[in-house]
Copies of this chain bind each other. A is one copy, B any other.
Amino acid sequence: MKRPSSRDVALRAGVSQATVSYVINGERKLRVSPETRERVLRAIEELGYQPNAAARALRTQRTQLVALLTPDLANPFYPILAQAIQDVLQEHSFELLIANSRGIASQERHFLDTVVQRGVDGAIVVAWHLDHADVDRVLQAGIAFVSVGSDFGHELVCAVASRDQRGAAEAVRYLIRKGHRRIAHIAGDQSTPPGRLRLEGYCRAMEAAGLTVDESLLVYGDFTRGSAAPLARRLLAQDVPPSAIFVANDTMAVDAMLSLQELGYQVPHDIAIVGYDDTPEAQFVRPQLTTVRQPIAPAGRAAADLLLKQILSAPIQARRIIFDTELVVRGSA
C-alpha cells in the first residue's frame, strides 16, 4: 500500500540511494557499471518504484510543470491554444496545468499565487486584469513567464500578441467598402484589452470614413455565448436599424447571427455580420462567418517556445512576437 522510495530500491539492489539516483537520472556519462545498473533497474521494476515528484522538486527546484491560465475553456479559442502549447511542451516532457479564471480579476491573481507556491517552471497567461506589480511578483520569484495578448505594461515580460485594433479596423473598413453606412458593434468586455482595442479599431475606421459612431450602434457584451443574442435583437429593433454588425468575437457573432436568423432576418442580405477570431464555429454556421482570423495555434506554439527558451537557457530578455490578423471573407458579410 505504501509507495516504495529510492531507499527501498537501494536496499533491494544492495547499493546506496545515490547510485539509484544516478541510474535514474543517467548523467550523460554512464557513471554506473552495467551490472550495477542492471540490478538497480530490476529492483525498480520489481518494486514498481516511481520517483516522488515533490521530493525531487524540493531538492532540485524544478517541477517539470508549466501552468496555463485561460479565461474561458468554453470558448474554442482556448482549447486550441492549449493544445498547441501542450504539443510543444510534451516534446520536452513538461506537464501542463490548466486553470480557468473566468475573466475574474481575483482568480487571475489567485492563479499567480498558485504558480509561485507550486514553483512551476513557467507560466503562460491569458489575463486581462493583472498589472505591473502582479507580474513582477512572478518574475521576482524567478519563474519563466509568457503573456498572450497583453504585456501588462511591464518591460520585462515576453508576450505574443496580435494587432486587435488593426484587425478590427480592417473588418469595419471592409463593411464600409461593401457600402454599409450604419454599422453597429457588439463590443466585448470593456474591462479587457481586446474588448477595448477592438472597439477602438471600430471607432477609428468609422471616423476615418467620415461616419459618426452613433451611441445607438454600440452595445456591450462579455465575449461569452448567450450575451450577444439579446443585444443583436435590440440593435435590430431600432427605428433605423444597422445594416451590418461587427462583433468582437466569433462566439458572440454566432450567437447573434443565429438569433437574428430565428427572427427571420436574412444574413447577409438584411444584416451583414463580421466576427473575430476565426474559431471552428465560424465555419459551422450558414452562411459561414466572415471574420478576422487570429493565428491561434501558431501563437500557442510561439508562446510555448518562448517559455521553453527561458526555462532551458539563461533568462532571455523580453521578446514580443506580434502576429498579423487576416480578414477571412465568407458568406455572412
Q: Which A residues are within 8 Å of any B CB, using their own CB? A: 1, 3, 48, 50-55, 57-58, 63, 73-74, 76, 78-80, 82-83, 86, 95-100, 113-114, 116-119, 137, 140-142, 225, 254, 258, 261, 280-281, 283-286
Contacts and interface: CB of A to CB of B under 8 A. Distances in A.
Given A1-B142, A52-B58, A53-B119, A95 B79 contact: no
Contact of A284 (B80, B82, B86, B254): B254
Contact of A114 (B58, B73, B95): B95
Contacts of A114: 95
Contacts of A286: 261, 285-286
A257 to B, nearest CB: 9
Given A79-B79, A86-B100, A97-B95, A3 B141 contact: yes
B63 A73 contact: no
A79 B73 contact: yes
Nearest to A60: B54
B95 A50 contact: no
Q: Could you say how many copies of this chain the assembly holds?
A: 2
A156 to B, nearest CB: 13
A96 B98 contact: yes
8 contacts: A50-B117, A52-B58, A52-B117, A83-B100, A225-B280, A258-B283, A261-B286, A281-B284
Contacts of A51: 117
Contacts of A57: 54
Contact of A98 (B50, B74, B98, B118): B98
Nearest to A54: B57
A236 to B, nearest CB: 19
Nearest to A119: B54
Given A53-B117, A54-B58, A254-B284, 18 more contacts: A1-B142, A3-B141, A50-B117, A51-B117, A53-B118, A54-B54, A54-B63, A55-B58, A58-B58, A73-B82, A76-B76, A95-B97, A95-B99, A95-B114, A96-B97, A96-B99, A97-B98, A285-B286
Contacts of A3: 116, 141-142
A298 to B, nearest CB: 16
A5 to B, nearest CB: 11
Nearest to A79: B73
